[in-house]
Amino acid sequence: MATTSSMFMYSLTLQPPTAVTQAILGQFAGTKEQQIVTAAGSRLTLHRPDPSQGKIIPALSHDVFGIIRAIAAFRLAGSSKDYIIITSDSGRITIVEYLPAQNKFNRLHLETFGKSGVRRVIPGQYLAVDPKGRACLTASVEKNKLVYVLNRNSQAELTISSPLEAHKAQTLVFALVALDVGYANPVFAALEVDYGDSDQDPTGQAYEEIEKTLVYYELDLGLNHVVRKWSDPVDRTATILFQVPGGTDGPSGVLVCGEDNITYRHSNQEAFRVAIPRRKGATEDPQRKRTIVAGVMHKLKGAAGAFFFLLQTEDGDLFKITIEMVEDDNGQPTGEVKRLKIKYFDTVPVASSLCILKSGFLFVASEFGNHQFYQFEKLGDDDEEIEFTSDNFPTDPTEPYTPVYFHPRPAENLSLVESIDSMNPLMDCQVANLTEEDAPQIYSICGTGARSTFRTLKHGLEVSEIVESVLPGVPSAVWTTKLTRNDTFDAYIILSFSNVTLVLSIGETVEEVTDTGFLSTTPTLAVQQLGEDGLIQVHPKGIRHIRADRRINEWAAPQHRSIVAATTNERQVAVALSSGEIVYFEMDSDGSLAEYDEKKEMSGTVTCLSLGEVPEGRVRSQFLAVGCDDSTVRILSLDPDSTLENKSVQALTSAPSALSIMAMADSSSGGSTLYLHIGLYSGVYLRTVLDEVTGELSDTRTRFLGPKPAKLFKVSVQGQTAVLALSSRPWLGYSDPVTKGFMLTPLNYPGLEWGWNFSSEQCTEGMVGIQGQNLRIFSIEKITDNLLQESIQLTYTPRRFVRHPEHPYFYTIESDNNILSPATKNKLLQDPAVVNGDATVLPPEEFGYPRGRGHWASCISVVDPVTEKKVLQKIDLEDNEAAVSVATVSFASQEDEVFLIVGTGKDMVVSPRSSTAGFIHVYRFHEDGKEIEFIHKTKVEEPPMALLGFQGRLLAGIGKDLRIYDLGMRQLLRKAQAEVVPNLIVGLQTQGSRIVVSDVQESIFMVVYKFQENRLIPFVDDTVPRWTTCTTMVDYETVAGGDKFGNLWLLRCPAKASEEADEEGSGAHLLHERQYLQGAPHRLTLMAHFFPQDIPMSIHKTNLVAGGRDCLLWSGLQGTLGILIPFIHSLAYGQETNDRRGTGSLGAGDRAKNFCKSAHIL
Amino acid sequence: MADKLRAQQQLEQLQARYVGTGHADTTKFEWTSNIHRDSYASYIGHPPMLSYMAIGMGECREKVRSMMIEKMIQPVGRPPEAQD
């Protein structure tokens, strides 16, 4: 821990990345059921598809603390369980199995083969497994390939051999698959290019003549070595390979997919080639060639040769490819290929992985945007799509042929059943409290193209309301009860008002009943189903025991005393009297309540009581928790030997308002722990572990719920016991189904005064609650996701967004490269030469926008995320301009009126960067910002990549120049200018007259603006090149930022330099100060540095909890949301790092170097 | 002398195992080619970086990936004429 910095930050993940790099399918639990395993960032997640509901449920998520590069499933011959092979940046290959009983991943093997890190010659980029599970090959982009033999030992345990090398220097690998060869020696096919000759040939001829080859590597299991068995040149543009079934299922071999063509290749077969059909339409370029970017092969049950491929082009179109084989005399396929057939299937979002489930579903792990889960309606067998066969195409890739076309159409074969929220790519994010709630919301822009969205994130659980009805009065409490112990559903709802009790029966309809035995002329304190078939009503004057035969036993409170608090379970009752005495009852063998002889006198007035549930197999709960108004909680024993004796006591900060003893599942042991939940009058909630033997209280956790006294209720959610905590808003305490850790999450529901469990035929796991005069019945369907998302559809890939300084509206700038603008599109569609069928416009959310090289489509949208939840206005940019930056600026010269400023570029080319011009557009706000109106635009040399309001004027970064503009009548007026960075200004932040300028490549520069001299003077820069993406000022001297290589850092300006820069009249001095090593006179110091495994796209200093400390919230491109919390003492840092060691990691990453921890807190 | 020989052997071994290990006569072309190939391999290997570039280019990830491997063949243009 050698460091000179005294600053330590704690990194927490609020939302793990949702970008799936790879998804695999397998029977990982060892049963017939198939599961999907996805790799997202550093997380390995197992999903369980539910065919009956048409849903995908995440069952287990594991952080490997490393970059997962590739995953593959394999199964040993004769086994029924699939294992997972993982290659990561740890330089190791890991084999993992899923243990369904414990719901965890278990590491079986961890073999080191190379250096750690993502490197050019360290295998791990590609991974292929023999279909019979006998060997796997992992390769790097260049040169290295390692083959591991997988087998089992005499104990039937999986073994892995030492690696066999199949290296070839100066060879690049484009794709790698395993061949299906049945039980012959395993063969792997690679698509390779040898650049050795072209590196030596100055004439460039060797480069021109480079061939791409398909190479077979055979693992000789007998001799235990790998040979390069066969190689043959293929199409130069080929990029991807697919395995063709072999053995008894098919002809074996591979599909080689290149630009505009798919070729079947195998060492002992002829080549067959088919063109990829191109889209036909008025807005489509007929010359544009498609390539295959993803695909999946699926074998159907039954006949040999019954398999097909679904291959996807970059437009998202899926094509069904089938291979026809030569048949013998009996009509059986011989394994000799006759032709290749291709036809259009359907269109889905562009995938990083496709998985076809045996149950008839297709999982599309989208490369950007939501993941989709489709059901197959049919397999496109007998539709009217034109089928193209390989008979019409030459096998030689250089020979010309007539391209083929198809008309895309709405989906016929697939129907969408679930869209799984994914914030990937998360382009920008801001925190604001626009709804005036307790906690702020996170606003973000994500997605690409027509699937872009504006999303609002709120910490909370989704609640589905079942009933809301108005009652005649304002009830104080509500209970539900069943009639006998064996009932599954509740029979009565009991409502207590200020002086009456109302009983409602639950049936087809809910109606009042009067002959229940309940005393209706008094308020009620507690209701309980007791013993076999009794009912208990506790009211201020006594306890009423209603037997099944309607016999009533009444215990009356002693004279001049009344009952103030009560608690019950199915065998015990405890009540507290106004005198501070506690009376305890237990059920006798005959079902009647027996009072315990002695009363326990408490020191103060009792405010609340709690008995735990009777544990299974016991006759009583061991403990009674008593809360008194002297701010204490006492645990009393209920053991017959020591009845009502003090066990332990806990002092509190305020009087307790509610108590609940509850056994809940916990993360450590897999079993359950007894907790005492405490709610205080101050609105604080505490959770304490209650020792089941000694009654000791330990490990207290505190949380502020809201300003109202907290009330606690035991409810059942998704089959587990949970605590409903009510204050100014409702909260649910439960154990997370995946991690088993305790979570306390607010419900997205109005504040309740009382709540109780509710179970009926229509709603088995619901809750009933009181809100003012309303009775509400609701349920919680999903507790896996504690961030609520709301999406608003946007038009193009959002780049940046700003908020109106006063009103709850956002302005997004959206732009897409290589997409036709609406004007161009309309012109093409209105061309009279267009045939009718070509003019149909399909929804761009599914089919994308028509593409055209060099074109830009861009717009500015006004988004209302609070009331109307939609885009209010959209302004399209014309003349191939695209928006690159946005800011709201108040101009002092215009009486501080706020304007929206948008920077654009014309005819931009991304790489190498170029453009014909840049513009700064000015828009005026109307109707509190609901509308914007264009005023004028100013031409500048380059697209202004950064804009910011600065001292009543506009600060713009144009190329290397930093400029100050004022608003004029016809255009912006340049007031000051300085060249401050070496490359390109991409970001601006300011405090006072200090400006933090980020350069695209050279980290940040601090610039001071000297008003007197009207000069911009850089005075401090960095020693390290950082390809800055985002920055924020943490304080006047410190800047937090992120870069394109996925680092987060904090930089601080030396105190002396900071002081000097702000000195009055120091302009001339600063300007002529001696440069230090050809840079600014001073250097920034690095305070903290962290690699969060995602590219930070935004960072803000903010506060996520009311009354909590400030933290840094950052958002990552793959959908990660994280926070950095500063440590107050460096001691805590040491302790936390020690805690991290020894905690389990799968070892795929297994690097303790990153001090990070994943958890959900807000 | 034996030490020198061993050092030489060790260097050769390193050069064989780790592509790009330099030597006294490394040319500018070799060095820059090597740097660029390393960079491209890193862009491909880090999923967020590949996404970042794909979004910037308005292409899909798989196309950007294959384009980058394609660039690794000759990342900095033709080699210079051999000089004696």
pLDDT digits (tens, 9 = 90+) for A468-509: 888 888 999 999 998 888 888 888 999 999 889 999 888 877
The pair of structure tokens assigned to A228 is 């390069």
- Is residue A1158 within 8 Å of A33, Cβ to Cβ? no
pLDDT band at A1152 (very low <50, low <70, confident <90, very high): very low
Interchain CB contacts (distance < 8 Å): A and B: 139
CA of A259: which chain B residue's CA is closest?
A: B63
A201 vs B38: CB contact, 8 Å cut-off?
no
pLDDT at residue A411, rounded to an integer: 92
The predicted pLDDT at position A1159 comes to 28
Contact by Cβ (8 Å): A952, A892: yes
Which residue in the set B41, B51, B62 is minimally distant from A119, CB to CB?
Answer: B41
A142 — pLDDT class (breaks 50, 70, 90): very high
Give the pLDDT of residue A547: 86
- Spatial distance between the Cα atoms of A1147 and A1154, rounded to a whole number of angstroms: 14
> Which range is least confidently modeled, A31-45, A775-789, A893-907?
A775-789
According to the model, what pLDDT value does residue A718 have?
84
Q: Is the pLDDT of residue A132 over 90?
A: yes
Dihedral of alpha carbons B19, B22, B25, B26, sign: positive
Q: Using the beta-carbon criterion (under 8 Å), do A207 and B47 form an inter-chain contact? A: no
Confidence of residue A517 (pLDDT cuts 50, 70, 90): confident
Beta bridge partners of A1007: A995, A1018
Of A199, A291, A910, the CB nearest to B79: A199
Alpha-carbon distance B5 to B10, whole Å? 9
A218-244 pLDDT, tens digit per residue, is 999 999 999 999 999 999 999 999 999
> Which residues of chain B make contact with A912, given a CB cutoff of 8 A?
none
Percent of all residues in chain A with a pLDDT value above 90, rounded to a whole number: 62
Range from A395-404, A783-792, A948-957 that averages highest in pLDDT: A948-957
A202, closest residue in chain B (CA to CA)? B79
Residue A201 structure tokens: 């040939």
CB of B7 less than 8 A from some CB of A: no
Residue among B38, B52, B73 whose CB faces A172 most closely: B73
pLDDT tops 80 at residue A198: yes
- CATH 2.130.10.10 matches A122-416: yes
Q: What is the pLDDT of residue A450?
A: 93
- Domain positions in chain A are 122-416, 981-1127
Q: Indicate the residue of B55, B63, B78 with minimum beta-carbon distance to A202.
A: B78
User: How does the average pLDDT of chain A come out, rounded?
Assistant: 89
Q: Which are the contacts of A28, defined by CB distance < 8 A and separation ≥ 6?
A: A35, A37, A46, A73, A81, A82, A83, A84, A97, A98
- Quickly name the fold that domain A981-1127 has: Methylamine Dehydrogenase; Chain H (2.130.10)
- What are A324-354's pLDDT values in tens digits? 988 888 877 788 899 999 999 999 999 999 9
Q: How far is A21 from chain B (nearest CA, A)?
A: 7
Q: Is the pLDDT of residue A814 over 90?
A: yes
| Partner residue opposite A314 with nearest CB, options B63, B72, B74 | B63
Confidence of residue A4 (pLDDT cuts 50, 70, 90): low
Whether A981-1127 and A122-416 are alike in CATH topology: the answer is yes
User: What's the confidence (pLDDT) of residue A1162?
Assistant: 28
**How far, in Å, CA of A290 to CA of A317, rounded?**
10
Percent share of chain A, pLDDT over 70: 96
Tell me if A294 and B58 make a contact (CB, 8 A cut-off): no
User: In terms of CA atoms, which chain B residue is nearest residue A240?
Assistant: B66
Instruction: Yes or no: say if A887 and A878 are a contact pair by the CB < 8 Å rule.
Output: no
Mean pLDDT of A801-829: 93
Contact B38 A910 (CB under 8 A): no
Residue B57 with chain A: CB contacts under 8 Å: 817, 910-911
Question: B72 and A448: CB-CB below 8 Å?
Answer: no
Rounded CA-CA distance A462/A98 in Å is 30
Predicted-assembly ipTM surpassing the 0.85 threshold: yes
pTM of the model: 0.89
In this structure, are strands A405-406 and A278-279 parallel, antiparallel, or unpaired? parallel
| B-interface mutation test, from A118, A173, A1043, A1044, most B Cβ less than 10 A away | A118
Q: Tokens in use for A169?
A: 């220097």
pLDDT in tens, B16-46: 888 888 888 889 999 999 999 999 999 999 9
- Residue A368 distance to chain B (closest CA, Å): 9
Here the tokens at position A366 are 């989208």
Interface of B with A in 15-44 (CB under 8 A): 18-20, 33, 37-38, 40-42, 44
The answer to whether the CB atoms of B48 and A817 lie below 8 A apart is: no
User: How far, in Å, CA of A203 to CA of A211, rounded?
Assistant: 17
pLDDT at A1157: 32
Which of B19, B27, B44 has the most A C-beta neighbours within 10 Å, making it the best mutation to test the interface with A?
A: B19
Say if residue A41's pLDDT is above 60: yes
Cβ count within 10 A of residue A1142: 8
Q: Is the pLDDT of residue A1028 over 60?
A: yes
- Looking at residue A954, what is its pLDDT? 96
Task: Please say whether the beta carbons of A701 and A686 come within 8 A.
Answer: yes
3-class secondary-structure state, position A1028: strand
pLDDT in tens, A970-979: 999 999 999 9
Asked if pLDDT for residue A86 goes beyond 90, the answer is yes
Six-digit token string for A173: 């690998």
Q: What span, in angstroms and rounded, lies between the C-alpha atoms of A866 and A928?
A: 14
Task: Give contacts of A1044 with chain B, Cβ < 8 Å.
Answer: 49, 52
The residue-averaged pLDDT of A732-740 equals 82
> What residues in B contact A41, CB-CB < 8 Å?
47-48
Position A1153 confidence tier, pLDDT thresholds 50, 70, 90 = very low
Residue B25 Cα, gap to closest chain A Cα (Å): 15
* Whether the predicted pLDDT of A913 surpasses 80: yes
CB contact under 8 A, B42 and A120: yes
Q: Comparing A901 with A741, which gets the higher pLDDT?
A: A901
Name the residue among B41, B57, B80 with its Cβ closest to that of A142.
Answer: B41
Neighbours of A232 (CB within 10 A): 13
Which tens digits make up the pLDDT trace of A1077-1124? 888 889 999 999 999 989 999 999 998 876 678 899 999 999 999 999
pLDDT mean over A627-646: 89
Mutant choice from B19, B60, B76, B84 vs A, greatest count of A C-beta within 10 A: B60
Q: How far is A314 from chain B (nearest CA, A)?
A: 6
Residue A1148 pLDDT level (bands cut at 50, 70, 90): very low
Write down the residue that tokens 């209603």 correspond to. Answer: A546
Whether residue A1145 has pLDDT greater than 60:
no
Q: Mean per-residue pLDDT for A823-844? A: 81
Residue A5 has pLDDT above 60, yes or no: yes
Please give the pLDDT value at position A669: 57
pLDDT (0 to 100) of residue A836: 66
Mean pLDDT of chain B: 90
